[in-house]
Amino acid sequence: DQQVKQNSPSLSVQEGRISILNCDYTNSMFDYFLWYKKYPAEGPTFLISISSIKDKNEDGRFTVFLNKSAKHLSLHIVPSQPGDSAVYFCAAITTSGTYKYIFGTGTRLKVLA
Amino acid sequence: EADIYQTPRYLVIGTGKKITLECSQTMGHDKMYWYQQDPGMELHLIHYSYGVNSTEKGDLSSESTVSRIRTEHFPLTLESARPSHTSQYLCASTRNKNSPLHFGNGTRLTVT
C-alpha cells in the first residue's frame, strides 16, 4: 500500500521554463510534507517543506503547493536550470504519530539546455 | 549544512560475509533512520531509532540489524550478505517531526 505516489517517473523541461513535479498521498493524517533532490550515488538533499496549515511555501526558485482536499502537492521550479536535473522525491509524515517519513518513488527531471 | 557521514561509500562483497555499514552524525539528533533504495523505487524504511537503546523495525522486512549505543552512531549489520541485499543504503537523522531528515551520502552495496 503506497501512501505517497509520484505517478510521473520522468519529466523533461527546457532550460528557463517551469518544472512542475506532482505528488499524491492517501493518508489524511499526513501533516508535514517535504521535497528532496537526489543525484546518482548521493544521498537526498532537502529542498523545501510545507506544513498542512499552509497551502504554499516559497524558497527562491522553488515553490511547493499543497491541496489538502485533493491530497495533492506539487513542486514548481522557476526558472529551471540544467543543474536541476536529478530525481525528486516527495515525502510525508504524521507529526502526531510515529517518526516515520514516507517517500514516493521519485520523478526524474531532465532540464534541457 | 547537515553533518552526517556514512562509510564506506561503495562496497563489493561476496555472499555469506558479515558486514557493518557505519553512520555517524554530529548534530546531536535523537532520531536516526536507515532507508534502502533501488533505482526507480521509493526509499524504504528498514530501521529507525528514537534515541539511545531504542531501535524499531521499519516497513520493509530486512535481514539486517541495528544498534544505538551512542547518540551519534547508528550502525547497520548484515550477518550474512546475499545478492538480494544489493542496494543503496541511506542513513538519515532529524531533531523532531517538524524538521526535515538530513541524509548521508549513502553506501552502495553489491553482493556477488
Residues in chain B, overall count? 112
Angstrom distance (rounded) from CA A104 to CA B44: 9
What is the overall mean pLDDT for chain A? Answer: 94
pLDDT digits (tens, 9 = 90+) for A13-67: 999 999 999 999 999 999 999 999 999 888 999 999 999 999 999 999 999 999 9
Inter-chain CB proximity A41 and B106 less than 8 Å: yes
For residue B3, the number of C-alpha atoms closer than 13 Å in the C-beta half-sphere is 7
pLDDT digits (tens, 9 = 90+) for B11-68: 999 999 999 999 999 999 999 999 999 888 889 999 999 999 999 998 877 789 999 9
Minimum distance, in Å, between the CA of residue A105 and any CA atom of chain B:
4
User: Which of B77 and B62 is assigned the larger pLDDT?
Assistant: B77
Inter-chain CB proximity A49 and B100 less than 8 Å: yes
Q: For A88-107, what is the mean pLDDT?
A: 90
- To the nearest 10°, the Cα dihedral for B87, B33, B6, B9? 10
- One-letter-per-residue 3-state SS of chain A: CCCEECCCCEEEEECCCCEEEEEEECCCCCCEEEEEEECCCCCCEEEEEEECCCCEEEECCEEEEEECCCCEEEEEECCCCHHHCEEEEEEEECCCCCCCCEECCCEEEEEEC
